[in-house]
Every structure is written in C-alpha cells, then in structure tokens.
C-alpha cells in the first residue's frame, strides 16, 4: 500500500517535471522579457507600471505571445533610452485565457498591484468585460486589437491603437466592389462580438456600395471545426466572394480547406483575425487552397518605412520570427503611452487619459501615423493582404502573405 502511494507520488512528480520541461521551452521568451524589464532601475523614482492583459493560454495563445512580446520590446527600447520622466518602465503580464470573467479578474489583479496604464485586452469580447471597470477605477486602457465599434464609444478611459470594425468591414466591401463582385456571401458567428461587428459593418457597406449579399450563414461559436455546410450553401447561392470573419485558429486548419472541399472556389475574404494563419496550416494540407484568400490587416511586415523596418529587425533579432500585426499594435500602444506621458509630464492615469483624449495629437507609430478621433479610435488606413501557396523562409512549401493594396480612405459609393 505504502509503496503504491510512493509510486503514485513519483509518477505525479515526474509528470509535473516533464510538463515543466515543455513549459520552459515553449514560453521561454516571455519570462525572460520579464526578467530584463524588471532590471534594477538606474534612474531615480519608482518604475512606471504598465500592465498587459492578453490570452496567453487557450485557443488564442498566439495573440497573447504577440502582444506580450511586442509590448516588452517597446518597454525595453524606452528603458534603454533612459526611461520616461527619469523613471524606468516595468511591465506586468496578466492572462485572460480568452474568457471575459478571467479578463475581469486579471484587470482587478493588475489594478490592485498599482497599475494605472493597461495594454489590453486582445479580443473584443474580453475587452468589453473590462471597459466599464476601467472607467470606474479611472485606469487607462489602450487595447491593441479590439476592433468592435462599441469598445471605445461608451467609456472615457478606453482607447485603441487599431482601427474599428466599421472601417475594417467597409474596406472589405469596397474591395469586393472594386474587384467586380456584385453578389457576395457571408459566413460568420452571431455569438461573437468581433464576428458580429464585422458582419454588421460589411453588410451595411455592401448596401452603400450596391453589392448584393446573396447568402448568409452563421456558426454556433468561434471555434467550430466544421464549415462544410456553410460553404455548401455559398456554392448553392452561386457567390464567388465570401466574407468570413473568424480567428486564425480555425482559418488555418479548418475553414479554408473545408470550403475548397465543399466545392467553393471563389474568394474568401477575412479580417485581422487571419494574422498568423500560415503557422496553423496543417502539415500536408493542399496549400493551393489558400490561393484567393484575402484579408485586411493593420500593417504589412514588408513595409519599407524607416520605423517599420527598425521595428521588424529589432523584433526578429530578439524573438527570431516576423512580428504579427498584433505585436506591432501592442508596441504602438506602449508608444502611445510614451507620447502621452511625455506630453502630460506625469504618469498619473487621469492626466494620461486627458492627454490621450485631447484633440490633434499625432502619433507616429509602426502601424501608421495617426491621431485619435473623438471616440479614441485611430484614423488610419488598412493593408489588404493575400495568401498564396509559396515557399517559406526555411525553403519548404508554405502559405505566404503578399501585400495587395494599402487603403487609406474609404472610396465613395
């Protein structure tokens, strides 16, 4: 009996140890960053705390990694240049697991640690759970990637570094019109804030541009693994352009290949959720399926502007891969805080908020040079990017991205 117990304890421990090993290798970048940013502050005064909230585990963990690394890179650069107002920056990462309840917990935990400036959260569904709390606690919130329109409209302390869905969906509709598609279809998830928001703006813009929405299909949730029926309906409706706002975790493995298998050969258009899709394509999948897949993004990693090149090379040097738009937007969030703190001459959340809300401040960032509109949303353009079967950096066949177009303003109807 005793020996059995001992054995089971040992087994449990060895399991734990093996997990530690995986954990260590998989996430090695994030803790290392923590260590560096927490290095002893040479400048006087306490460090300025910046919190990040992102889905570091769960289905959308790639977004979490991108946001934490992007923000950490910005903080490191600022600290290396002597910090802000003579103080160093310190970053505290919190995980929301892509769950609204956990997001609120993470927010409360950060605020109780004295954080007044927060970058996050990533998904619109999670961010909407903390915007009210940010207002009540008078904590600044800049979300890197929550594009739902309603995120910034209600609450004074909430800003973002990305464009809103009403712009993003309209860009896609304008592209459909411009490319000569008069009849389009939509596959979306009615339950999700992000997908529904894009659905609304895309269908509204279609009406404006005189594009007929011939078929609409909805899925039960954002992580459904079967899209065959939806795309069969698209084929039946005879559309050659389908707008499908989902996240990368289903686009890569399921949606595109299943759409092609269902006989759909036309264009699949998506939004910024398609970022990092090439990393999630199943080995051995038919890569030509990804031809004719387009999506709107916040920036293009191949951008040749000086700032962008510097960011991409610094990021690649540090983390060994090309930064996604999410990393760039998180980097921009920290840079917006930097500009606001310098302009306000203080890191007090209320003063920073007043500076962010002031008119006419121009932020020169990776994802564009922009100012914020009255709701706190940047006025900037979008890149339209296409996937195609090609050769990856390692010489193997892979899905690669190609910049199609940069749209700075919506065309007239």
Partner 1 sequence: MKQNKTMQGYLLNTVVIVVLFAAFQMLTAAYGGSGSFKLVIAPCLWQCCYLIILAASLNLVLGFLGQLSLGHCGFMAIGAYTAALLSLACERSEVFKNANDPVYLVIIFACILAAGVLSALVGLLVGIPALRLKGDYLAIITLGFGMIIVNIINNLPFCGQDGLALGSASASLYKNGLGFGSKSKVTFLWVALLTTIVCMTMMFMFIRSKYGRCIRAIRDDEIAASASGINTSFYKVMTFAYSAFFAGVAGALYACANATLSTSSFAFTNGGILNSTFIVVMVVLGGMGSLTGSVVAAVVMFLVNYQIKNGAWVALLPASVQGVFQYPMLVYAILLIIIIVFRPKGIFGAYEFSLRNLPADLKASRARKAAEKAERKEAGAHV
The torsion of the CA quartet 110, 112, 115, 117, rounded to 10 degrees, works out to 70
Q: Which is nearer to partner 1, 27 or 77 (CB)?
A: 27
The whole-angstrom separation of Cα 342 and Cα 389 is 45
Alpha-carbon gap, residue 199 to 211, rounded angstroms: 14
Nearer to partner 1, 104 or 328 (CB): 104
Q: Yes or no: say if 316 and 322 are a contact pair by the CB < 8 Å rule.
A: yes
* Smallest gap from residue 209 Cβ to partner 1 (A): 23
| Minimum CB distance to partner 1, residue 362 (Å) | 26
Cβ closer to partner 1: 83 or 116? 116
The CB-of-190 to partner 1 minimum distance in angstroms stands at 5
Query: How far apart, in whole angstroms, are the C-alpha atoms of residue 311 and residue 325?
Result: 12
Q: Smaller CB distance to partner 1: residue 130 or 340?
A: 130
C-alpha–C-alpha distance, residues 261 and 285, integer Å? 12
Residue closer to partner 1 by CB (options 146, 292) is: 146
Query: Which lies closer to partner 1 via its Cβ, residue 10 or residue 362?
Result: 10
322, two tokens: 């090309």
Distances (CA, A) of 373 to 120, 148, 282, 328, 380: 19, 15, 41, 20, 10
Strands (E), 272-376: 293-297, 362-365, 368-371
Find out whether 194 and 124 touch, Cβ atoms under 8 Å: yes
- Residue 83 CB, nearest approach to partner 1 (Å): 22
- For 116, the token pair is 């007044």
Provide the binding-site residues for partner 1, judged by CB under 8 A: 5, 8, 12, 15-16, 19-20, 23-24, 26-27, 30-31, 55-59, 94-95, 97-102, 104-106, 108-109, 111-113, 124-125, 127-129, 131-133, 136-137, 148-155, 158, 190-193, 196-197, 218, 220-222
Shortest separation between residue 197's beta carbon and partner 1, angstroms: 7
CB nearer partner 1, residue 124 or residue 145:
124
Q: Please, which residues have CB within 8 angstroms of residue 45's CB and are 6 or more apart in sequence?
A: 85, 86, 87
């Amino acid at each position: 009996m005793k020996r059995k117990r001992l054995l089971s304890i040992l087994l449990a421990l060895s399991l734990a140890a093996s997990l530690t090993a995986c954990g260590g290798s998989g996430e090695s970048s994030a803790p290392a960053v923590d260590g560096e940013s927490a290095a002893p502050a040479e400048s006087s005064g306490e460090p300025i705390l910046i919190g990040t909230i992102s889905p570091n585990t769960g289905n959308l963990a790639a977004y979490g990694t991108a946001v934490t690394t992007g923000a950490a890179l910005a903080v490191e650069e600022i600290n290396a240049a002597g910090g802000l107002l003579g103080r160093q920056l310190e970053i505290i990462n919190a995980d929301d697991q892509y769950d609204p309840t956990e997001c609120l917990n993470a927010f409360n935990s950060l605020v109780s640690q004295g954080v007044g400036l927060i970058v996050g959260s990533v998904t619109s569904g999670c961010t909407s759970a903390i915007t009210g709390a940010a207002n009540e606690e008078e904590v600044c919130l800049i979300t890197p990637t929550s594009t739902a329109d309603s995120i910034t409209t209600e609450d004074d302390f909430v800003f973002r570094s990305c464009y809103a869905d009403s712009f993003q969906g309209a860009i896609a509709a304008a592209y459909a019109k411009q490319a000569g598609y008069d009849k389009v279809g939509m596959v979306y998830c009615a339950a999700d804030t992000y997908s529904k928001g894009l659905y609304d703006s895309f269908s509204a813009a279609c009406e404006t541009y005189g594009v007929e929405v011939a078929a609409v299909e909805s899925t039960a949730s954002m992580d459904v693994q079967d899209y065959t029926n939806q795309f069969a309906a698209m084929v039946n409706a005879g559309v050659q352009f389908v707008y499908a706002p989902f996240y990368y975790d289903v686009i890569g493995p399921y949606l595109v290949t299943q759409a092609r298998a269902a006989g759909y050969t036309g264009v699949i258009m998506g939004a910024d959720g398609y970022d990092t899709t090439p990393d999630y394509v199943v080995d051995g999948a038919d890569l030509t399926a990804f031809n004719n897949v387009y999506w709107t993004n916040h920036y293009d990693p191949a951008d040749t502007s000086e700032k962008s090149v510097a960011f991409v090379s610094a990021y690649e040097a540090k983390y060994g891969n090309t930064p996604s738009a999410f990393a760039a937007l998180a980097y921009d969030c920290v840079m917006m805080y930097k500009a606001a703190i310098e302009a306000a001459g203080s890191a007090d959340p209320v003063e920073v908020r007043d500076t962010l809300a002031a008119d006419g401040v121009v932020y020169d960032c990776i994802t564009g040079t922009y100012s914020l509109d009255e709701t706190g949303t940047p006025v900037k353009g979008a890149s339209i990017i296409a996937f195609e079967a090609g050769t990856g950096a390692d010489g193997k066949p892979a899905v690669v991205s190609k910049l199609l177009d940069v749209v700075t303003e919506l065309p007239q109807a």
